[in-house]
A and B are shown apart, each in its own frame.
Chain A
Amino acid sequence: MIEAMIIDDERLARKDLRAVLEKFPQVKITGEAANVAEALTLLRKLRPQVIFLDIEMPEANGFALLEQLETVPQVIFTTAYDTYAIRAFEVNALDYLLKPVTEKRLGESLDRLEIPVIPTPSSYLDIHEKIFVKDGDRCWFVPLSDIRLMESTGNYIKLYFGKHAPLLARSLNSLEPRLDPKHFFRASRKHIVNLGHVQQIHALDNSLLALELADGVRIPLSRRQSILFRELRGI
């Protein structure tokens, strides 16, 4: 059973999608929202695995909603005709349905879904959960596991993954308590490193450490964190 939610400002559009979704008994619609504010409340309460999200909505659009979420569920965008918004995404980074939605097309989308196993509620984010980042005209859904480095720049975090390094509008300090220390290590005031991407550990002079990432970048550890790292790893 896939739990899904529909977010669209037009009542008839929601009704239409609901009607088509009835042909797919594996999908259960747990909620509907007509705007971003409503959606935020419902999403936090219902935690659906999939959302059908209209891009163009009054007050705040679909992207604005995603940016306000800590992590995002699977998103299928619905739009009448918005090549611009769709172009914002990396190839294959998202799925979208054009309205009016056909049963066949919806079926394909559902088949393609990788339904995340809803993690047992824990204080930490699951490593496979995705974060939505929008930088200028480009957007990404990036799983935490892909992010090798988080760098604090003022009130923003620069996320390094693949060849990209977009800014996320959140502070490193607010995100840190939600990151599982099994996977992420706070190297210094400025950096959080994904341990899965560490290639080498360098011992520097005066007993400081530096972590070398897959891309060759070395992140120095502060004195306190060097000590902590040694304790945790027993080195």
Chain B
Amino acid sequence: MKIRYRYWACQLGGWGLFTYLWNNIRSGEGFAFRTDVFGDTDFYSAYFIGVLATHLLYLYLRKQQLQRYRLGAVFMKVWGAVTLSSLLIVLWLTGISIAEDGGWNSFFASVDKTLGKPGGLGTRTTIGLIFLLVWFVWHLVVWGWVILYFSLLQGRFKRIELENENRLKQAELDNLKTKLNPHFLFNALSSIRSLIGENPERAQQAVAELAEVLRSAMLAEHHQLIPFGKELEVVQHYLAIEKIRFEERLNVHYTIDPNIHQQTMPPMLLQTLVENAIKHGISKLAAGGEIRIAAALEGKQFVLRVENTGRVPEERPGGGFGIQGTLKRLALLYGDKAFFTLHNTAQQTVCATVKLPAA
């Protein structure tokens, strides 16, 4: 069995210190750091019962897994346990006092002597009241123990939780980093192959473009953020290849603010938007259409916009997996500081907009 060093250090050290201070106060001559306390058996017996009663409490809390909840949520259960363990302490201490006084009758007598004759109340009632009072005080002490225990433990739980959350977030981000769409790859190879016979020069160029796209897709796995200029370059290569496939069915226009090439953004983000524009827009239209890519700073926001000919089905705007992935990715990277919208604008145009905090 694993020994819980931290627990035992806190438990023994804490109760030692507490019992020592408590006995110092009880001595009747005000507080002082005395050494004679250690010669007193009362000290050891109180020490012992404190540790024992709260250890039983500790075993109960662990058994019931109560330490995993907020204290408020399990208050009644804890309160019951606290009452019982403080009762155990009080009974023990009372028992010791009675034993020390040499029996029940001498105990009565010594109580009488100490208190004198309180008006009207019998000795039994007085002892009863004192017992309840002492019980109440100990019950508060044990509550103090519980609060300490919960706050120490929950700090640790919170830390573990945070660590797990971070790890999860990283894994999710890795997962969401868009891998290159295999459709694109095979279609590109297929169209480049037939281009070899038709236009060898263009085919050569296309192979180089494809290499660039592949390279950046692989590099994207190692970077959280890249400069916009880099991303744009890849998208241009990508579209050049798609242009081979779609020929006159695909037309692309760029409106790029020349001062924003250093803005940072998640890799493959623009790429995903453009890919979607082709997959759900251009490739669905026999006559083809247009893709307009715009990037600019608007106030403190870096705005990327991809428009394409086509329509988003009204019933599921932004339902595709690529879009869901993009949304998650933005949320993980920027929290609520990034925005994504996808909607139908003018006749036959879909507009996807991403707003990132300007870097």
Contact residues, A204-235 vs B (CB, 8 A): none
Q: How far is the CA of A35 from the CA of B249 in the complex (A)?
A: 13
Tell me if B195 and A58 are in contact (CB < 8 A).
Answer: no
- Residues in chain A near residue B183, CB distance under 8 A: 80-82
Contact partner of B194 (CB less than 8 A), chosen from A16, A58, A80, A98, is: A16
- Residues in chain A near residue B194, CB distance under 8 A: 12-13, 15-16, 19
Interface size class, chain B? 20 to 34
What is the distance, in angstroms, from A161's C-beta to the closest C-beta of chain B? 33
What is the distance, in angstroms, from B63's C-beta to the closest C-beta of chain A? 51
Tell me if A58 and B286 are in contact (CB < 8 A).
Answer: yes
What is the distance, in angstroms, from B210's C-beta to the closest C-beta of chain A? 13
What is the distance, in angstroms, from B282's C-beta to the closest C-beta of chain A? 8
Contact partner of B186 (CB less than 8 A), chosen from A9, A19, A80, is: A80
- Residues in chain B near residue A11, CB distance under 8 A: 247
Q: How far is the CA of A80 from the CA of B285 in the complex (A)?
A: 18
Contact with B along A37-48 (1 / 0, CB 8 A): 000000000000
Contact partner of A100 (CB less than 8 A), chosen from B186, B197, B246, B285, is: B186
Contact partner of A58 (CB less than 8 A), chosen from B186, B187, B284, is: B284
Tell me if B187 and A19 are in contact (CB < 8 A).
Answer: no
Contact residues, A54-94 vs B (CB, 8 A): 56, 58-59, 80-82
Contact residues, B109-126 vs A (CB, 8 A): none
What is the distance, in angstroms, from A65's C-beta to the closest C-beta of chain B? 13
A58/B191 contact (C-beta < 8 A), A11-B247, A12-B245, A80-B186 known: no
Main SS at interface, chain A = loop
Contact with A along B193-210 (1 / 0, CB 8 A): 111011000000000000
Q: How far is the CA of A100 from the CA of B197 in the complex (A)?
A: 14
Contact partner of B187 (CB less than 8 A), chosen from A15, A34, A80, is: A80
Tell me if B283 and A19 are in contact (CB < 8 A).
Answer: no
Q: How far is the CA of A56 from the CA of B278 in the complex (A)?
A: 13
Tell me if B190 and A99 are in contact (CB < 8 A).
Answer: yes
What is the distance, in angstroms, from A23's C-beta to the closest C-beta of chain B? 14
Interface status of A135 (Cβ within 8 A of chain B): no
Q: How far is the CA of A80 from the CA of B283 in the complex (A)?
A: 14
Contact residues, B260-292 vs A (CB, 8 A): 283-286
Q: How far is the CA of A15 from the CA of B192 in the complex (A)?
A: 11
What is the distance, in angstroms, from A42's C-beta to the closest C-beta of chain B? 15
Interface status of B182 (Cβ within 8 A of chain A): yes
A10/B197 contact (C-beta < 8 A), A59-B286, A81-B183, A100-B186 known: no
Most buried by A among B183, B187, B247, B284: B187
Contact partner of A59 (CB less than 8 A), chosen from B197, B198, B285, is: B285
Q: How many A-B residue pairs have CB under 8 A?
A: 57
Tell me if B285 and A12 are in contact (CB < 8 A).
Answer: no
- Residues in chain B near residue A58, CB distance under 8 A: 283-286
What is the distance, in angstroms, from B275's C-beta to the closest C-beta of chain A? 14
- Residues in chain B near residue A12, CB distance under 8 A: 190-191, 194-195, 198, 244-245, 247
- Residues in chain A near residue B182, CB distance under 8 A: 81
- Residues in chain B near residue A56, CB distance under 8 A: 283
Contact partner of B284 (CB less than 8 A), chosen from A15, A16, A59, A82, is: A59
- Residues in chain A near residue B333, CB distance under 8 A: none
- Residues in chain A near residue B244, CB distance under 8 A: 12
Q: How far is the CA of A101 from the CA of B187 in the complex (A)?
A: 11
A80/B284 contact (C-beta < 8 A), A10-B246, A11-B247, A12-B195 known: no
- Residues in chain A near residue B185, CB distance under 8 A: 81
Q: How far is the CA of A58 from the CA of B284 in the complex (A)?
A: 4
A13/B190 contact (C-beta < 8 A), A19-B197, A80-B183 known: yes
Q: How far is the CA of A82 from the CA of B246 in the complex (A)?
A: 18
**B284 to chain A: closest residue by CB:** A58
A16/B193 contact (C-beta < 8 A), A10-B245, A99-B186, A99-B187 known: yes
Contact partner of A9 (CB less than 8 A), chosen from B189, B197, B286, is: B286
A13/B191 contact (C-beta < 8 A), A19-B197, A80-B186, A99-B186 known: yes
The 5 A-B pairs at the shortest CB distance, nearest first, are namely A16-B194, A80-B186, A99-B190, A100-B190, A12-B194
- Known A-B contacts: A10-B187, A15-B197. Give 14 more (CB < 8 A): A9-B286, A10-B191, A11-B247, A12-B194, A12-B247, A13-B194, A13-B245, A19-B194, A56-B283, A80-B183, A81-B183, A81-B186, A81-B187, A100-B190
What are some 19 contacts across the A-B interface (CB < 8 A)? A10-B187, A10-B245, A12-B190, A12-B194, A12-B198, A13-B191, A13-B194, A15-B194, A16-B191, A16-B194, A19-B197, A58-B284, A81-B186, A81-B187, A99-B186, A99-B189, A100-B190, A100-B193, A101-B190
Please list the residues of chain A having a beta carbon within 8 angstroms of any beta carbon in chain B. Answer: 9-13, 15-16, 19, 34-35, 56, 58-59, 80-82, 98-101
